[in-house]
């Protein structure tokens, strides 16, 4: 199978990636920096991660990366990102196009794919109001309710899950975990249920070693700036307790490192998720050996309360469970270890690749 996998980069990751790739002068060098940093690595398919010659990987929204490829192939300097991505697919003679950025490259793009492409598959695990994925042969993710919305729109869909990144093994066995409770993710007024949990937990920072690595909204960043503090933007500023335990967002290996320092990783679904659970943080926390403490709901196969993770029902329940888990080290580490073993086996790269082959054929 000639596989082409396309990623999109988080806006807040771009600055970090640009610094990491400062010395990269070719397309291959810049791609290798990204692969080494492990950004989004749970989504990397096995041939891409192993550098198989039949697999091609890129980030079709990175102008620097894509311009490098275009220049190396003699394309005009004014070539657009879409033109470059299409040229890459044609040059590779792609048979299966797997796209993680379908909001940018939707049906209009798919209809322009060269004739060598036999199968087009999109990953999308979020609400997609106004999107058009009709031209894709398949839209996949691991949230059943979102898949149903695709089917309701008349699009073919299928369940497909992230995988365990084997390089997490270097972090999962860490016994020195100075952070009692860790949260990594977004904090905005649009995620009120999650924000309320974080605010409640942060209020107990004098008794618990808490660390939040938060991806703040642009409005929040401005509201907390010296200029923004002069303006009536109080509703966009984070509470004092939240700011006291907060750090800048982390990605890739930096994310693995902080997960490997945490006894407990707190997780909370954003408001759109309904009862579905299984966001990326679940796979990453389990893979890095932390005890996953997450809100009750419908989890992917193998993620079971009291066996491979612990769930909470409400804010008071969350506050009760944290000191219990910290006090009972044997129970906490047993579940954390079981979670790591489960995700490494059930969501291995090999099993993910086997499932992808089923979907691609």
Question: In the structure, what pLDDT confidence band is assigned to residue 230 with cuts at 50, 70 and 90?
Answer: low
Q: Which fold has domain 166-346?
A: Rossmann fold (3.40.50)
pLDDT digits (tens, 9 = 90+) for 263-320: 999 998 765 557 899 999 999 999 999 999 999 999 999 999 999 999 999 888 999 9
Identify which has the larger pLDDT, 236 or 9: 9
Rg (CA), the chain: 21
pLDDT digits (tens, 9 = 90+) for 47-94: 999 999 999 999 999 999 999 999 999 999 999 999 999 999 999 999
Q: What is the C-alpha to C-alpha distance for residues 196 and 316, in angstroms, rounded to an integer?
A: 11
The answer to whether the Cα torsion of 245, 286, 251, 82 is positive or negative is negative
Residue with tokens 């612990």: 310
Are 343 and 296 contacting, i.e. CB atoms less than 8 angstroms apart?
no
- What CATH number belongs to 3-160? 3.40.50
pLDDT at residue 189, rounded to an integer = 60
Look up the pTM and report it. Answer: 0.93
Question: In the structure, what pLDDT confidence band is assigned to residue 235 with cuts at 50, 70 and 90?
Answer: low
Q: What is the C-alpha to C-alpha distance for residues 338 and 75, in angstroms, rounded to an integer?
A: 51
pLDDT at residue 320, rounded to an integer = 94
Identify which has the larger pLDDT, 259 or 237: 259
Average pLDDT (172-178) is 95
pLDDT at residue 173, rounded to an integer = 94
Identify which has the larger pLDDT, 272 or 102: 102
Q: Which tokens in the block code for residue 361?
A: 């054929």
Domain with CATH 3.40.50.2000 in the chain: 166-346
For the chain, the average pLDDT equals 93
């Amino acid at each position: 199978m000639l596989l082409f996998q396309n990623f999109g980069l988080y806006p807040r990751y771009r600055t970090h990636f640009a610094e990491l790739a400062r010395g990269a002068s070719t397309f291959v060098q810049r791609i290798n920096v990204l692969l080494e940093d492990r950004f989004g690595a749970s989504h990397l398919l096995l041939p891409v991660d192993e550098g198989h010659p039949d697999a091609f990987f890129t980030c079709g929204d990175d102008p620097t990366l894509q311009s490098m490829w275009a220049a190396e192939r003699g394309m005009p300097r004014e070539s657009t990102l879409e033109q470059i991505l299409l040229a890459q697919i044609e040059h590779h003679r792609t048979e299966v196009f797997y796209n993680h950025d379908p909001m940018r490259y939707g049906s209009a793009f798919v209809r322009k794919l060269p004739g060598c492409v036999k199968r087009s598959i999109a990953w999308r695990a979020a609400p997609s109001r106004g999107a058009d994925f009709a031209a894709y042969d398949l839209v996949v993710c691991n949230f059943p309710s979102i898949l149903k919305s695709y089917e309701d729109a008349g699009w073919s869909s299928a369940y497909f899950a992230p995988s365990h990144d084997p390089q997490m093994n270097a972090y999962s066995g860490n016994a020195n975990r100075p952070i009692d409770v860790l949260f990594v993710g977004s904090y905005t007024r649009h995620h009120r249920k999650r924000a309320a949990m974080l605010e409640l937990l942060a209020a107990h920072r004098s008794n618990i070693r808490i660390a939040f690595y938060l991806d703040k909204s642009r409005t929040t960043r401005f509201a907390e700036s010296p200029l923004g503090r002069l303006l009536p933007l109080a509703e966009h500023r984070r509470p004092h307790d939240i700011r006291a335990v907060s750090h800048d967002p982390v990605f890739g290996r930096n994310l693995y490192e902080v997960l490997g320092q945490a006894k407990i990783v707190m997780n909370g679904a954003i408001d759109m998720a309904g009862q579905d659970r299984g966001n990326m943080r679940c796979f990453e926390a389990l893979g890095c050996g932390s005890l996953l403490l997450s809100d009750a709901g419908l989890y992917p196969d193998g993620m079971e309360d009291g066996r491979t993770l612990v769930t909470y029902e409400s804010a008071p329940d969350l506050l009760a469970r944290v000191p219990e888990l910290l006090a009972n080290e044997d129970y906490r580490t047993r579940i954390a270890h079981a979670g790591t073993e489960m995700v490494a086996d059930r969501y291995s790269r090999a099993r993910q690749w086997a499932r992808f082959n089923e979907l691609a054929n």
